[in-house]
Structure 1
Amino acid sequence: MLYRDLSTQEEIDAEYNPLLTALDAPSIMKEWATESARVRRELDGRLGMRYGPTKDEYIDLFPATNRDAPLHIFIHGGYWRKGVAGDFSFIAPLLVESGVSVAILNYSLCPSVKLSEIVRQTRGAIHWLVSNQSTHGCNLDWLSISGHSAGGHLVAMALATKWAKHYGISEDLIKGGCAISGIFDLAPLPYSFLQPKLQLALGDIRALSPIYHLPKTGPELAVVVGGDETSEFIRQSKTYFDLWVGNGLVGQWREVPDVHHFSILNGFKDKNSDLFRSILSIVKPA
């Protein structure tokens, strides 16, 4: 066996390539692109705010009108090898309307950089936001974070960060998190269609898999996955959730019926969706 009960690359790809099962994904992503372009035209935003030295290290910020609005960070997916922040502007309007400022992170992609560098950039972006309030003007009293797919992995790695030790900032700076359809154990990926781009080494599996890096303290974390996703995506999310709460941390589990790996993100556009309710529960203090 290569991983658990999966013995071939074909079997691993069937579980870990959501494009094979979500056949309407191309049309969904086309709709996202159209909506995101409209959002960038119509919604007040500060696009391309630099948080690091490379061309890929920037944030698209959509501030709410209320000065005390909490700040929510979103990290996009694409298996660490596709996508830019601008593809996901569509997630912002309903949050902004709800009185939440939104920062969408951009980062470099594999194989131009290693996954470890993407994790570093994610942490660097959060550190920049915390350290440069006078530049972006957002309220940092309640900072929350969410991410989808690869972004869910990056959320978990951000929550595992020793902020005081490595960045000299408060350990409890993130007040809420939401990992959507994430990857928390990288072990199957070297045997998958992703390996030519990710180029994961043996040491990367333990170093960069969130299941091995649970924090001792942390915020409430919502772990959300689509009911129509593959059994491995659902299992990975449930395993991470069980480890999170088993470590004495506060969490909420949502398996959203009738949505798959891509359609689940449309919940950002529906204030009555399971996903949006989960997001709202962690972006504002109770």
Structure 2
Amino acid sequence: MYRNFKTQAELDAQYSPIELGLDVAGYEKFYGINSAKVRQELPCKLNVPFGPTLAEHLDIFPAAQPNAPILVYIHGGYWFLGSSKDSSFVAKGLVSANVTVVVINYALCPKVTIDEIVRQNRAAIAWIYRNAESFGGNPNRIYLSGHSAGGHLTAMVMATDWENDYGLPNDIIKAGCAISGLFDLMPFPYTWLMPKIQLSWDQVLRNSPIYHIPEKAGSLIITYGVEESSEFHRQSQEFLTAWKAKGLVGEYLPLPGKNHFTAIDGFLDTDSPLCTAILKQISLTASS
């Protein structure tokens, strides 16, 4: 069994929101209602295709001013749940600060593998870079954020070899913010998730960001709810330590009083610690 855990039940108690006693349905309803409101209140272009399959599309929430920085958001859901429409709410606080927000939709496990999910998110970034000016965004000011599985995908996208794989500048992602991310996939073959995501060990090794930290990358904010389980703390702390050990710029943003689901409610408020940290990150790289 993984690390010091002796049973699947012990691991599930760390990674299952049901076992953690969280009101999953209540949080899903809250974000669903707020996402619907944001789509009604803000100008948006929905279901913009970036790839050949129906799942590969984007929702774009353009800032009022042209040539705006772009925050790309990757939703969570343990790679087998969710869609971009569940996360429209993340645009609220940032669009009002003149940041264009793009939410990626991607295919889910077990219909596709995590390898394919990573590929789709990388392809989405390439599409955004090449088409940014068509929706008023600045292709040279792309930032990235994601929650839970989206935090994992944020780290994987930041480790992309853009020049050799896509013919794009290697600094295409100026900075990132990974929220409650999953950077070490080693535990998951032993958990309740296995039938959902069907991980092979080679997939675990290919897709654990802690084993694929790039030589060069933009700055990275690592954050999670202080009330999250000890494994979520470990995942983020160990990744941030490894990131900084490579000489990369990284910082920890504490979110006291937050759990796995409320760690992202700061996107609703421009003045929240989460939005404030992301906007500061964007302003610090404005000249790059």
- Scaled to the shorter chain, the TM-score interval is over 0.9
CA distance in 2, matches of 1:95, 1:269: 8
Contact 1:178 1:278 in 2 (8 A): no
CA distance in 1, matches of 2:48, 2:10: 41
Deviations, residues 189-246 of structure 1 (Å, cap 9, x unaligned): 0010110011100111111100010000000100001100000001100000000111
Partner residue, 1:111: 110
Choose 23-32 or 60-69, whichever is displaced more.
Answer: 23-32
CA distance in 2, matches of 1:102, 1:236: 27
Query: How many Å apart are 1:94 and its aligned residue?
Result: 1.3
CA distance in 2, matches of 1:161, 1:192: 28
Partner residue, 2:57: 58
Partner residue, 2:275: 276
Deviations, residues 100-124 of structure 1 (Å, cap 9, x unaligned): 0000000000001011000000000
Partner residue, 2:72: 73
Query: How many Å apart are 1:252 and its aligned residue?
Result: 0.8
Partner residue, 2:6: 7
CA distance in 2, matches of 1:93, 1:28: 17
Partner residue, 1:143: 142
Large movers: runs of 4+ above 4 Å: none
Q: What letter matches 1:94 in structure 2?
A: G
Contact 1:142 1:175 in 2 (8 A): yes
The alignment status of 1:28 with 2:18, answered yes or no, reads no
Query: How many Å apart are 1:134 and its aligned residue?
Result: 4.6
Alignment gaps of 5+ in structure 2: none
CA distance in 1, matches of 2:170, 2:270: 31
CA distance in 2, matches of 1:200, 1:122: 18
Partner residue, 1:195: 194
Query: How many Å apart are 1:93 and its aligned residue?
Result: 1.5
Identity, % of aligned positions: 45
Q: What letter matches 1:201 in structure 2?
A: S
Choose 109-118 or 18-27, whichever is displaced more.
Answer: 18-27
Q: What letter matches 1:101 in structure 2?
A: T
Query: How many Å apart are 1:270 and its aligned residue?
Result: 2.4
Deviations, residues 15-60 of structure 1 (Å, cap 9, x unaligned): 1113322523321220110111111122100001100000000000
CA distance in 1, matches of 2:236, 2:257: 17
Partner residue, 2:266: 267
CA distance in 2, matches of 1:133, 1:69: 9
Measured at CA, do residues 22 and 255 of structure 1 come closer, stay the same or move farther in structure 2, by a change above 3 Å? farther
Q: What letter matches 1:240 in structure 2?
A: F
Contact 1:72 1:283 in 2 (8 A): no
The alignment status of 1:184 with 2:216, answered yes or no, reads no
CA distance in 1, matches of 2:219, 2:204: 25
Q: What letter matches 1:230 in structure 2?
A: S
CA distance in 1, matches of 2:8, 2:84: 30
TM-score, normalised by the number of residues in structure 1? 0.97
Q: What letter matches 1:151 in structure 2?
A: G
Counterpart secondary structure, 2:232 = helix
Q: What letter matches 2:263 in structure 1?
A: I
Counterpart secondary structure, 2:137 = coil
The alignment status of 1:234 with 2:237, answered yes or no, reads no
TM-score, normalised by the number of residues in structure 2? 0.96
Q: What letter matches 2:188 in structure 1?
A: L
Choose 11-20 or 93-102, whichever is displaced more.
Answer: 11-20
CA distance in 1, matches of 2:18, 2:99: 32
Choose 24-33 or 246-255, whichever is displaced more.
Answer: 24-33
Choose 97-106 or 32-41, whichever is displaced more.
Answer: 32-41
CA distance in 2, matches of 1:88, 1:31: 11
The alignment status of 1:128 with 2:140, answered yes or no, reads no
Q: What letter matches 2:92 in structure 1?
A: P
Q: What letter matches 1:228 in structure 2?
A: E
Number of aligned residue pairs: 285
